[in-house]
Structure 1
Amino acid sequence: MVERLLPSEKERKRLIKVFAKTNPHYGKKPEERTVKELLTMGLINLDKPSGPTSHQVDSWVKEILEVKKVGHGGTLDPRVTGVLPIAVEEGTKALKMLLTAGKEYVGIMRLHKKVDRNLLFSTCQSFIGNVYQTPPLRSAVKRVRRKRRIYYFDVLEIKDKEVLFRVGCEAGTYIRTLCVDVGRRLKVGAHLQELRRTKVGRLKEDDTVTLHDLKDGYTLWKEDGYEDEIKKCIKPIEAAASHLPKVVVRDSAVDALCHGASLALPGVVEVDAGIKNGDVVAV
């Protein structure tokens, strides 16, 4: 299966304004943080199992890591599996950055009648671009019609009335509603049968960890001081911003920025190309 890229995964050209070195006084490389530091501000790319709610998974992570605060970015329904970004302690403040990240799902859609293969392919392709959706009746949000963007919609396999598909979409897209709309456009009816989230921005299912991995890694560190496994489970919080365009600043600008000052051009060292007015960036 050929990998498809969400808009945020595409590489950006880095423009270098001036060459500069950083002083260790202003921090350390994210990958050099200790386990204790990661437990105060880290991100877990968790593979959510089918059954529990996302909030229940949060509770289990909090219990495993013995921390006070945990939160997730992008709620998954109980039966949906896959990528569930979970932040720890102060890292929960960074979860809002994932709201702009595109999502990818792989699922099974069940048609209520068989249809022509080519018609199915062309119908799914017709949804690429902007779509208008009303949240499902059991949704936790207000049922207001809203616009969302579909980046790609691939039919991977067809078996009788079951269709294996892959869709890349804007955050907040209802895949259940999308399947119903496909069935309506085909005039045969359809519903979502099974769903797995495979990407949130640049967080992918290939790099997920399970609750068991997390438990084993934490126990090894807590009881034996072995750090490797728990460090594989908890990423530096910067991973939550990996999909955002970057602006690199001078050390001398860091303190002022942290106290609310605006960033002036002399403080910029490097910047990603293509940043537009109003874009959210990582500094």
Structure 2
Amino acid sequence: MELIVKEESKTDYNYGSDPYNRDIKTLLNTGLVVIDKPSGPTSHEVAAWVRNMLNLVKAGHGGTLDPKVTGALPVALGNTTKCVPIWHIPPKEYVCLMHLHDDAELVDIENIFKEFTGRIHQRPPLKAAVKRSLRIRKIYEIEILEIDGRDILFRTKCQSGTYLRKLVDDMGEALGTSAHMQELRRTISGPFYEKEAVYLQDLLDAYIFWKEDGNEEELRKLVKPLEYGLQHLKKIIVKDSAVDAVCHGATLYSSGISKIEKGLGTDEVVLIETLKGEAVAVGKPLMNTKDMLKTEEGEVVEITRVIMEPGIYPRIWKKRNKNDKSKPELKKK
């Protein structure tokens, strides 16, 4: 990541905090944990277990409802649930065991796998939690790892929202043998990797160590700040004076920017951060990095999702008439 300074700014350490130095109670309510999900329970059930285990009011997840899927399952703790949709932006990666219902020639199998690379049409299965309308999903990569009789082990990198069970069904039908998904492991879920996933029992043990012995070291190793799950987004760093206005949904103006990441375009989601590295909001850039650096006034990012709670930073924006429903603007100095 290369940040370009638009205006040198200092931060006031009386407000906010370094995300990686939050106290443990705040971390548990604004953090995340990547669980190595076992086969059997749904992602909803796993998230509920984590919520109850850590005595939280709420917890969300970035997984699928299919109980057969194992592997990396990011679980959002407390207020971090508002970040879950952002985790679905990057592709996901799976290793899948596909079982054919009849014999097939190797060349035919290889051709079908090539045919299902790129843009495909999918209709969600009957048990899906979304409307069963035909939609387009992208298969970025699909690689056969091993073939043993009628069993095919393959790896695929695909757009979030792709139904692997349906992909296997469709490939089997196209092959003329029919097929079903026997096992499925999620190795990459958005910005999270299988290698960082932890077992539920390890999370419970770490929580008990903290509650009973006051030792938070192991719990801190497993629970990450919400910013950890937003590292894949390009960034704009704002001045302290702009933070609270953005927390109230105000469009980000050029005058509120301190630094901009190089190569930012208008076709992506951008993360608004404080000078301490705290996530404030995500939004849609209205111009690229070059134009943001040149402009002195005007709107530069339309805020689509606020992450930070208002009131953490001081309010430094214009008061409005109570009948004025427009979003707040920064006070001009």
What TM-score results when the alignment is normalised by the length of structure 2? 0.76
1:157 is aligned to 2:168:
no
Larger mean Cα displacement after TM superposition, 272-281 or 145-154: 272-281
- Shift of residue 16, structure 1, vs aligned partner: 4.2
Bigger Rg, which one = 2
> In the alignment, what sits opposite 2:131?
142
TM superposition shift of 1:129 = 1.7
How many Å apart are 1:100 and its aligned residue?
2.0
Alignment partners' CA distance in 2, 1:147 and 1:203: 24
Does residue 262 of the first structure (1) align with residue 251 of the second (2)? yes
Choose the corresponding residue for 1:174, options 148, 163, 179: 163
More helix by share: 1
Residue pair 2:44, 2:65 contacting (<8 A) in 1 also: no
Give the corresponding residue for 1:6.
none
Aligned to 1:239: 228
Provide the residue aligned with 1:4 in structure 2: none
Q: Quick one: distance in 2 between partners of 1:63 and 1:202?
A: 25
Corresponding residue for residue 215 of structure 1? 204
What are the residue-to-residue correspondences of 1:1-283 with 2, within 5 Å? 14-277=3-266, 279-283=268-272
CA deviation vs aligned residue, 1:161-195 (integer Å, no higher than 9, x gap): 11111111111101011111212222222221110
* Structure 1 alignment gaps of length 5 or more: 1-11
8 A contact 1:125–1:152 mirrored in 2? no
- Which stretch shows the higher mean deviation, 131-140 or 250-259? 250-259
Give 1:83 deviation, angstroms.
1.5
Query: Higher relative CO (CA 8 A, sep ≥ 6), structure 1 or 2?
Result: 1
Paired with 1:269 and 1:165, the residues of 2 have a C-alpha distance of: 46
**Deviation of residue 112 (structure 1)?**
2.3
Q: What code does the residue aligned with 2:206 have?
A: G
Q: What SS is found at the alignment partner of 1:178?
A: helix
CA distance in 2, matches of 1:137, 1:180: 13
Where 1:152 maps in the other structure, the secondary structure is strand
Give the fraction of aligned pairs with identical amino acids, expressed as a percent. Answer: 46
Q: How big is the alpha-carbon RMSD for the aligned residues of Structure 1 and Structure 2?
A: 1.9
Question: C-alpha separation between the residues in 2 aligned to 1:76 and 1:282?
Answer: 28
Q: With structure 1 as the length reference, what TM-score do the two structures score?
A: 0.89
- CA distance in structure 2 between the aligned counterparts of 1:227 and 1:114, rounded to whole angstroms: 55
Return the alpha-carbon distance in structure 2 between the equivalents of residues 142 and 257 of structure 1.
33
Count of paired positions: 272
Query: Would the alpha carbon gap of residues 254 and 185 (structure 1) be closer, same or farther in structure 2, given more than 3 Å must change?
Result: same
- Contiguous gaps of at least 5 residues in structure 2: 273-333
Superposition deviation, residue 20 in structure 1: 4.2
CA contact (8 A) 1:149 1:169 kept: yes
Q: Residues of 2 paired with 1:31 and 1:223: CA distance? A: 23
Q: Is the 8 A contact 2:88 2:190 kept in 1?
A: no
- Between the aligned partners of 2:43 and 2:252, the Cα distance in structure 1 is 37
